[in-house]
């Protein structure tokens, strides 16, 4: 890391840590997630008291207690908001405050600015996810009294790694919008609109397209039903939220052996049991690769756009 990038990296970290917006969002995420884990932990402790079960520790992240969703569901919903809130004014905020031209007047490389902003945001995300994940793990051990196995620890860290990549995607998207739009309010609304589109409307459009091409009725053959489902599911996988949800559920629930529609003829003679850790990684590797590729594309577009923009005093 060169000197200019290091200085800008420390500056961005200080800006994040002293931002009231960042502190409020972190408190909301931590409070809601820990409340969900506490509720799930109480339910798991009661279930364990009655009967033993494998992978009890992993159920802390996927089980929902009472009216509260699971920890993984909270992260899937609130994680993008954290990433978007950290970058929607990364560039246009500097431009509107007339500090970008002063920043580039210093003896630093131009690309150090965009690189430092993304690296600082990524560093904050890594700290947040690791701290929250380890806190949930320790809290769950206290509640249930059951220590995790080595496989459960490995699955937990893979879950946190996937979460970091998932939130980093939204950070890259928000920084891209901060370059495309001059006003911070416009870039924030565009970020929220894109997030809502992938969370809500992609599934709706996938159902409309699948039903239009392969309409399903009570008399439809099995082949039509299968084509309808596959098309609907493949279109829905354009959403990074669905990719993240499928990857997380597969990693945290070893009982999941397939992510698609499984016919009765395909499971005949299959021996029920948990999927090995390596096989679970192979099952979710395409999902993780897709999220990483989308993150790299968004950052590359923002990098090229920033390097070509004209900055005037």
Q: What is the pLDDT of residue 288?
A: 92
Residues 148-162: pLDDT tens digits? 888 888 998 999 999
Q: What is the pLDDT of residue 173?
A: 93
- C-alpha span between 73 and 60 (Å, rounded): 12
**What count of other Cβ atoms lies within 10 Å of the Cβ of residue 203?**
17
Q: What is the pLDDT of residue 193?
A: 92
Residue pair 245/199 in contact (Cβ under 8 Å)? The answer is no
Share of the chain above pLDDT 70, in %: 85
Q: What is the pLDDT of residue 50?
A: 47
Phi first, then psi: give them for residue 65, nearest 5 degrees.
Answer: -115, 125
Phi first, then psi: give them for residue 275, nearest 5 degrees.
Answer: -80, 135
Query: What are the Cα distances from residue 11, in Å, to 18, 24, 79?
Result: 11, 20, 24
Task: Say whether 269 sits in a helix, a strand or coil.
Answer: coil
Whether the model clears a pTM of 0.85, i.e. scores above it, the answer is yes
Residues 214-258: pLDDT tens digits? 887 777 777 777 888 788 888 888 889 989 998 998 898 887 767
Residue pair 143/45 in contact (Cβ under 8 Å)? The answer is yes
Residues in the chain predicted with pLDDT less than 70, given as ranges, are 1, 36, 38-54, 64-67, 257, 259-273, 311-313
Per the rule left: phi > 0, alpha: psi between -120 and 50, beta: everything else, 216 is beta
- C-alpha span between 210 and 228 (Å, rounded): 5
Q: What is the pLDDT of residue 174?
A: 92
- C-alpha span between 134 and 121 (Å, rounded): 20
**Nearest to residue 292, comparing CAs of 168, 182, 195, 108?**
168
């Amino acid at each position: 890391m060169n000197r200019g990038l290091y200085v800008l990296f420390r500056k961005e970290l200080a800006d994040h840590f002293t931002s009231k917006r960042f502190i409020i969002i972190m408190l909301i995420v931590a409070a809601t997630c820990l409340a969900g884990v506490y509720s799930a932990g109480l339910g798991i402790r009661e279930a364990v008291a009655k009967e033993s079960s494998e992978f009890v520790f992993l159920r802390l992240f996927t089980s929902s207690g009472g009216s509260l969703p699971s920890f993984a569901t909270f992260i899937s919903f609130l994680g993008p908001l954290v990433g978007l809130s950290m970058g929607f004014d990364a560039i246009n905020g500097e431009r509107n405050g007339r500090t970008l031209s002063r920043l580039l007047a210093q003896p630093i490389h131009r690309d150090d600015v965009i690189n430092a902003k993304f690296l600082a945001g990524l560093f904050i995300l890594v700290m947040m996810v690791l701290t929250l994940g380890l806190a949930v793990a320790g809290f769950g051990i206290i509640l249930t009294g059951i220590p995790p196995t080595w496989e459960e620890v490995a699955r937990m860290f893979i879950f946190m790694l996937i979460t970091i990549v998932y939130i980093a995607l939204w950070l890259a998207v928000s920084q891209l919008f901060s370059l495309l739009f001059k006003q911070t309010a416009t870039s924030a609304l565009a970020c929220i609109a894109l997030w809502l589109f992938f969370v809500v409307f992609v599934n709706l459009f996938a159902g409309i397209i699948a039903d239009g091409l392969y309409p399903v009725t009570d008399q439809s053959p099995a082949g039509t039903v299968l084509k309808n489902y596959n098309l609907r599911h493949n279109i829905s996988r354009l959403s990074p939220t669905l990719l993240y949800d499928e990857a997380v559920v597969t990693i945290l629930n070893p009982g999941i052996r397939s992510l698609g529609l499984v016919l009765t003829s395909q499971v005949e003679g299959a021996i029920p049991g948990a999927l090995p850790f390596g096989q679970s990684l192979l099952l979710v590797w395409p999902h993780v690769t897709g999220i990483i590729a989308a993150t790299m594309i968004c950052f590359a577009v923002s990098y090229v756009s920033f390097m070509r923009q004209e900055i005037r005093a």
